[in-house]
Chain A
Amino acid sequence: MAISLRPLHTLAVSLLLAGGLTVSAPSQALPISDCLAPADPGGGWDFTCRSVGKLLHELGLVDSPVRVINMPGGVGAVAFSNVAGKRAGDSNLIVATSTVGVTQIAQGRYPGDVDTMRWLAMLGTDVGVILVDDDSPYQSLDELLEAMVDDPTSVVMAGSSGIGGWDHVRALMLAKAAGLSSDQTGSVRWVQFDGGGPAVTQMMGGHVDAVSTDLGEIAGFIKSGDVRVLAVLADEPLAPPFDDLPTAVSQGYEVAGYNWRGFYTGGEVSDADYQAMVDTLKTLYDSPEWKQVAERNGLVPLWRGGDEFDAFVRDTADKVESISQEIGVIQ
Chain B
Amino acid sequence: MDILVFLLHGFAIALEPQNLFLALIGCAVGTLIGALPGLGPVNGVALLIPLAFNFGLSPTAALILLVSVYYGTMYGGRISSIVLNIPGDEPAMMTTLDGYPMALKGRGGEALGLSAVASFVGATVATIGLTLFAPLLVGFAIRFGPAEYFALFMLAFATIGGVTSGSFTKSFIAAGLGLLLGTVGLDPATGVSRYTFGLYELYDGIDFIAALVGLFAISECLLLLEDRRRETATNQELGSAIPGMKSARKCAPTIARGSLIGFVAGVLPGAGASLGSFLSYTLEKRWLGRKGDFGNGDPRGVAAPEAGNNAAAGGALIPMLSLGIPGSGTTAILLALLLSMNITPGPLLFEQQPDMVWGLVAALFIGNIMLLVLNVPLVGLFARVLRAPSWLLMPVVILVAFVGVYSLNNSAFDLYVMLAFGVLGYVLRKLDIPSVPVVLGLLLGGQMEFNLRRAMSISGGDWSILVSSGISIGIYAFAAALMAAGLLFAWWLKREEAGR
- The answer to whether A and B assemble together is yes
| Contacting pair B54 A42 (CB below 8 A) | no
For residue A311, CB closer than 8 A to chain B, the reply is: no
Q: Is the CB of A202 within 8 A of B145?
A: yes
Q: Give Cα distance in the complex from A220 to B353, angstroms.
A: 13
B340-A192 in contact (CB<8A): no
A 219-258 to B, binary, CB cutoff 8 A, 1 in contact else 0: 1110110100000000000000000000000000000000
Known contacts A8-B335, A74-B200, A221-B346; A198/B269 CB under 8 A: yes
Could you say which residues of chain B place their CB within 8 Å of the CB of A207? 145-146, 458
Given contacts A9-B339, A19-B54, A189-B458, contact A224 B201 (CB under 8 A): no
Complex CA distance for A109 and B185, rounded to whole angstroms: 13
Q: Is B208 an interface residue (CB 8 A)?
A: yes
CB-defined contacts of A221 to chain B, threshold 8 Å: 324, 346-347
Closest-CB distance, A61 to chain B (whole angstroms): 24
Whether A195 lies near B53 (C-beta < 8 A) is no
Nearest CB of chain A from residue B89's CB, rounded to whole Å: 12
Q: How near does chain A come to B472, taking the closest CB pair, in angstroms?
A: 12
Say which residue of A40, A190, A224 sits within 8 Å of B457 (CB atoms).
A190
A29 within 8 A of B: no
**From B90, which residue of chain A is reached at the shortest CB distance?**
A1
B332 to A5, Cβ gap below 8 A? yes
A201 proximal to B (CB < 8 A):
yes
Tell me the bound Cα distance from A194 to B269 in angstroms.
10
Interface segment, one of A10-18, A85-93, A260-268: A10-18
Taking CB atoms, residues of chain B closer than 8 Å to A70 are 409-410
Q: Quick one: which of B144, B204, B333 contacts A11, CB cutoff 8 A?
A: B333
With A191-B458, A201-B323 as known contacts, state yes or no: A73 contacts B50, CB within 8 Å.
no
Is B336 close to A, CB under 8 A?
Answer: yes
12 A-B pairs with CB atoms under 8 Å apart are: A5-B326, A72-B204, A75-B186, A78-B200, A163-B191, A164-B190, A198-B269, A198-B270, A205-B143, A207-B458, A221-B346, A223-B348
Residues of A within 8 A of B208 (CB): 1
Chain A residues near B410: list those with CB within 8 A.
70
**C-alpha spacing A220/B343, complex, angstroms:** 9
A153 is an interface residue with CB less than 8 A from chain B: yes
Nearest Cβ on chain B to A293's Cβ, whole angstroms: 11
**Chain B residues in 8 Å Cβ range of A57:** none
4 closest Cβ pairs, A-B complex: A220-B346, A74-B200, A207-B145, A19-B50
Inter-subunit contact B344/A189 (CB<8 Å): no
Separation in Å of the A129 CB from the closest CB of chain B? 15
Q: Residue of B at shortest CB range from A9?
A: B339
The answer to the question of A107 belonging to the interface, with a C-beta cut-off of 8 Å to chain B, is: yes
- Smallest CB–CB gap between B484 and chain A, Å? 30
From A12, which residue of chain B is reached at the shortest CB distance? Answer: B340
Among A11, A78, A163, A193, which residue has its beta carbon within 8 angstroms of that of B336?
A11
- Tell whether A224 pairs with B346 under 8 Å between CB atoms, given A72-B409, A165-B191, A195-B325: yes
Q: A162 contacts the other chain (Cβ, under 8 Å)?
A: yes
Alpha-carbon gap, A2 to B332, bound state (A): 11
Which residues of the partner chain B approach A2 to less than 8 Å between Cβ atoms?
204-205, 446
Nearest chain B CB to A327 CB, angstrom units: 10
With A72-B409, A77-B203, A189-B460 in contact, do A194 and B53 touch (Cβ < 8 Å)? Answer: no
Contact present for B325 and A197 (CB under 8 Å): yes
B454 at interface, CB cutoff 8 A: yes
Q: Nearest residue in B to A194 (C-beta to C-beta)? A: B270
B residues near A8, Cβ cutoff 8 Å: 332, 335-336, 339
| B339 proximity list for chain A (CB < 8 A) | 8-9, 12, 298
Given known contacts A190-B457, A220-B348, A42 and B336 CB-to-CB distance under 8 angstroms: yes
Residues from chain A with Cβ under 8 Å of B324 in the complex: 197, 220-221
Query: Are the C-beta atoms of B348 and A11 separated by less than 8 Å?
Result: no
Decide: A156 and B458 in contact? CB cutoff 8 A: yes
**With a CB–CB cut-off of 8 A, which chain B residues contact A194?**
270
Q: A70-B410, A191-B454 are in contact. Are A163 and B189 (CB under 8 A)?
A: yes
Contacts of A156 in B (CB 8 A): 457-458
**Is B189 a contact partner of A192 (Cβ separation < 8 A)?**
yes
Enumerate chain B residues within 8 angstroms of A302, measured Cβ to Cβ.
none
Contacts of A205 in B (CB 8 A): 142-145
Asked if B395 is at the interface of the complex by the 8 Å CB criterion, the answer is: no
Q: Contact at A220–B340, with CB atoms within 8 Å?
A: no
Alpha-carbon gap, A329 to B187, bound state (A): 12
Alpha-carbon distance A328/B301, docked complex (angstroms) = 50
| Residue B411 at the chain A interface, CB threshold 8 Å | yes
Greatest chain A CB density within 10 A among B141, B345, B409 is at B409
* 18 new A-B contacts at CB < 8 Å, known A165-B191, A191-B146, A220-B348: A5-B326, A5-B332, A12-B341, A13-B340, A15-B46, A15-B49, A16-B54, A19-B50, A73-B203, A78-B201, A162-B188, A190-B457, A194-B270, A220-B345, A221-B346, A224-B346, A297-B340, A298-B339
A70 to B186, CA, bound (A): 21
Chain A window 1-42, contacts with chain B (Cβ cutoff 8 Å), 1 for yes, 0 for no: 111010011111101101110000000000000000000111
Most buried by B among A2, A193, A223, A298: A2
- B-facing mask of A33-76, CB < 8 A → 1, else 0? 00000001110000000000000000000000000001011110
B191 in contact with A77 (CB, 8 Å):
no
Among B143, B146, B191, B332, the one with the most A-chain Cβ atoms within 10 Å of its Cβ is: B191
State the CA gap A51–B141 with chains docked (Å). 36
Q: Which of B198-221 contact A (CB under 8 A)?
A: 200-201, 203-205, 208
| B329 close to A (CB within 8 Å) | yes
- Name, among B145, B204, B339, the residue most crowded by chain A CB atoms within 10 Å (CB to CB): B339
A204 within 8 Å of B by Cβ?
yes
Cβ–Cβ contact B53 & A15, under 8 A: yes
B395 smallest CB distance to A (angstroms): 28
Is A208 on the interface with B (CB-CB < 8 A)?
yes
Report the separation of the CA atoms of residues A73 and B205 in the bound assembly, to the nearest whole angstrom: 10
Task: Tell me how far the C-beta of A47 lies from the nearest C-beta in chain B, rounded to whole angstroms.
Answer: 10
Contact flags A131-175 to B (C-beta < 8 A → 1, else 0): 000000000000000000000010010000011110000000000
| Chain B neighbourhood of A298, CB < 8 A | 339
- Please report the C-alpha to C-alpha distance between residue A189 and residue B54 in the assembled complex, in whole angstroms: 46
Q: Tell whether A192 pairs with B454 under 8 Å between CB atoms, given A15-B50, A16-B54, A226-B347.
A: yes
- Binary per-residue interface labels of chain B (348-366) against chain A in the complex, 1 for a CB within 8 Å, 0 otherwise: 1000000000000000000
CB distance from A203 to the nearest CB of B (A): 9
